[in-house]
Amino acid sequence: MQSYLFHQSPSPPVAVVTGAGVGIGLSICKELVQNGVKVVLNDLDEEICHRAAEKVNQLASKSCLAWPGDAADPGFVEGLVKVAVSHFGSLNMAIPNAGITLFGPFLDYPAEDLESVLRLNVQGSFFLAQSASRQMVKQGGGGAILFMSSVTGHQAHENLAAYGMSKAALEMLAKTLVVELSPHKIRVNAIAPGATLTERTSAEEGYEDTWSRITPMGSPAKPEDIANTAVFLVSDRASHITGQCVVIDGGWTSTSPSPY
């Protein structure tokens, strides 16, 4: 499949996406393969991971490989990069999408919850970017990394001190890596989704109504809204964009009314 977003000579580009069994991650994988990209799809849950890859392969046969495992583990994500190269021949894009949200008041927030949030959201993202970048440098020809931030990295939310801190850290990481990776033609950006109707949030009572009421555009995002921006930023069409974060929230951070 020839794509206007990606040059595919001599071979299709290859991406790794973590935490992609459902929601935004799955939508990103679908959008990538529909633009001619080969994808290694990761999720912690083995059954969900394989089921998601089957859905993606229905859009483009043999374009997606399921690889379940813990995306917070530096050894696992290093192996994930090796799997992409051994199966598809190279690695051109990495999207550390896996993340966890653990709510709790700051004054009572437990150490184990903070460790879990930082381990996956920050450590997992850091080391996937590191392993992917090493492979891209080895290959030559550049590449793209996209971190998944959040509007909570821009605007304070009640009971989300740890999560918001972790997402703001990823945006700073994207800026900092410009210094070391630009000489290798590796671009690093982030996106910050706002309220999005995923399988998880759709099950929350009043979620869609609340966010439709307080979002200037009149509704929360769909996973496809996030995926479209993500795929653009890792594509050749964004070849001069690096060190940036794009907020995708229907205008919510411009006014920031509380959902509580």
First to last CA, the chain: 46
- CA triplet 36, 41, 45: central angle to 5 degrees? 160
> Which of these, 175, 172, 206, 196, lies nearest to 248 by C-alpha position?
196
Q: What is the DSSP letter of 248?
A: E
Six-digit token string for 145: 């990394």
Is cis: bond before 74, omega within 30 of 0? Answer: no
What is the Cα–Cα distance from 134 to 117, expressed in whole angstroms?
25
- The residues annotated with a catalytic role in the active site are 150, 163, 167
Residues 6 or more apart whose Cβ sits within 8 Å of residue 27: 223, 224, 226, 227
For residue 153, the one-letter residue type is: G
